Every structure is written in C-alpha cells, then in structure tokens.
Amino acid sequence: MKELSLNILDIAGNSVKAGATKVGITITETDETLSLVFRDNGCGMTKEQVENVTDPFFTTRTTRNVGLGIPFLKLAAEQTGGSFSIESATKEENPGNHGTTTTAFFYKNNIDFTPLGDVISTVTTLIMGSPGIDWVFTHTYGEKETRIDTSEIRAVLGDDVPLDSYEVIEWIKSSLEEEYDSFYK
Amino acid sequence: MKSLAELQAIKDKMKDKVVLREGTGEIRVVVGMATCGIAAGARPVLNAFVEGVNKENLSDKVTVSQTGCIGICQYEPVVEVFEAGKEKVTYVKMNAEKAAQVIESHLKNGNVIEKYTIGANQ
C-alpha cells in the first residue's frame, strides 16, 4: 500500500465484515513513533484464527484462499522496526465483551516507514460505506487531537437526514481538514 | 470536531430535500473496495464518483456504493454499473479521470465507454 491510510481503510473493513456496531480507530503519534489501534465489537476470532491471521494463505473469504490485508499491515509495521499484535474474543468466549483489537506500532524515522497519507479520505470512505456503524476516529499528535464520533453526528441529524448524505460527508471532510490544518504546526 | 451548530444548520436546510432525494435509483455504480481494489487505487475512484454524481445532480437516479473483492484482482480498480433492463457494464483499471468521463458519457448520456470495459481489456 502506498499510504498507511489505505491500510487503515482495508483493515477497518474487517471490522465491518465481523458485524461490528462500534469501531474505534486511534492513531497516536509522537515525533518518533506512530501507533495505530483498531478496536471493534464484532464477532471476534477463535484462537486458531488469531494464530493464522497473519498468514497470507489463511482467509475466511470463500472467493479465493488468499487474504493479504493483515499481512500487509504487519509488514508495514515490522519493516520500520515496529511491531504488530492482535487480540480477539468470540461471542462464545466472552458474551459481554467480544470483538477484536488490532495494534500496529511504527518507527516514523525509519526509511521504510509508509507515510500516513490521506486519512480524511479514508474516514469519509468508511462512513459512506457503513453509515450504520458508530465510528470513533481519534488522532493525537502530542497535545493536538482530532476526533470524529459518528454517534454524536447522528444524534444531531436525528432521523431526518442520513449520515451518508453528501452534504454531511462534505461537512465531516471540511471539519477534519480544518483540524488537520494546524495539526503538525 | 467542528461546531455541531453548523451541522444543525445543514440538517435544517436538508430536511425537506431528503424525501425528494430518495429518488428512483435506477442506476447503481458499485466500486470494489477489498484489499486488491484499495491497493490498486479504488479510493480516489470511489470519491470521484461520489463527488461527480452529486455535482452533476445525478443523485436522484444514480447511487454509488462499495463492495468487496469481485474476483478479478488483476483488473482493479473495478467499477460495475447496473441499470434496470440492461446488461451489467464492468469498467476495469479505473482512475479518477476515467471515472469523470464515465459520469459524463455513460451516467449522464447513456453512452458506455467501451475502451474502459473488461471486454476491451482482455
């Protein structure tokens, strides 16, 4: 992937497929490091699935026996000297708190660090693709924080206006653009 | 987040329009957004369709949506156009610029751009 934001778009898709109703995407940055955490309340994975999930030839998909999303993210993290981990609980294992947490840790100054890229576009694409999910996107860099919580937006919109209306998506986009404007300064 | 008061204003302005908007949805544009599509550049293609359809006021008759892996990864980004009573059109190796042309020619005027379809790229 040319941008980490594309890995984010791809990996968040796994939470959608896992039937999650709430997905948190948290980016925490310092000058030297970047951590990326996905946390969902989806169906979760069994121990066997967790063990095999970084193997490209293991997938739950039935169209073809190759799944590259997780291996790509793991590689992107590890090639910077960083790390990757995944924890999960199925509904059977933990009925009250099931789901998957995926963490990737990067060293930004490594030459093989993939730039974050267009995160805003990834966030709006995820919201348009699954407007029914509560997306909580948080990005912090030192003292700076930008955040989008679609349940708060939906609370304002009520039943009259859908979250994925073009005007609302444009508002989310400009809201994020405004916050990122002063982000790295 | 930006002030939610501004969002409230958007809501008030849109409330009456939404009912009209539900539209007929006679044309469905579907963009493949699995790992293969994303890696090949599907995100800007999807966004070009969403923006173009809204800017050209086609949202009454055209809906744009995302799907998973269509199974022809070597041709990604892949865009399928479904229209009632017509055969499905599969556009391959798309980019934002080609998307703009498809909006203008196919979605607005009904002329399929053959050279971008899978038939012309095999």
pLDDT digits (tens, 9 = 90+) for A37-83: 999 999 999 988 888 888 887 666 555 555 789 999 999 999 999 99
Residue contact B15–A129, C-beta within 8 A:
no
ipTM (interface pTM): 0.90
Helix (H) or strand (E) holding B80: strand B79-83
Percent of chain B scoring above 70 in pLDDT: 90
**What are the φ/ψ torsions at residue A116 (nearest 5 degrees)?**
-60, -40
Residue contact B43–A6, C-beta within 8 A:
yes
Q: Contact, A100 vs A44, CB < 8 A? A: yes
Q: Contact, A102 vs A86, CB < 8 A? A: yes
Of A125, A129, A166, nearest to B54 by CB-CB distance is: A166
Q: State the angle between helix axes of A119-129 and B42-55 in degrees (0 to 180), rounded to the nearest 10.
A: 70
Q: What is the CATH number of the domain that holds B42?
A: 3.40.30.10
Residues of the domain holding B57: 22-121
Q: Which CATH code of 3.40.50.2300, 3.30.565.10, 3.40.50.2000, 2.40.30.60 fits the domain covering A4-181?
A: 3.30.565.10
Residue contact A178–B2, C-beta within 8 A:
yes
Per-residue pLDDT of chain B (122 residues; tens, 9 = 90+): 667 888 998 888 887 765 555 556 689 999 999 999 999 999 999 999 999 999 999 988 999 999 998 889 999 999 999 998 899 999 999 999 999 999 999 999 999 999 999 999 88
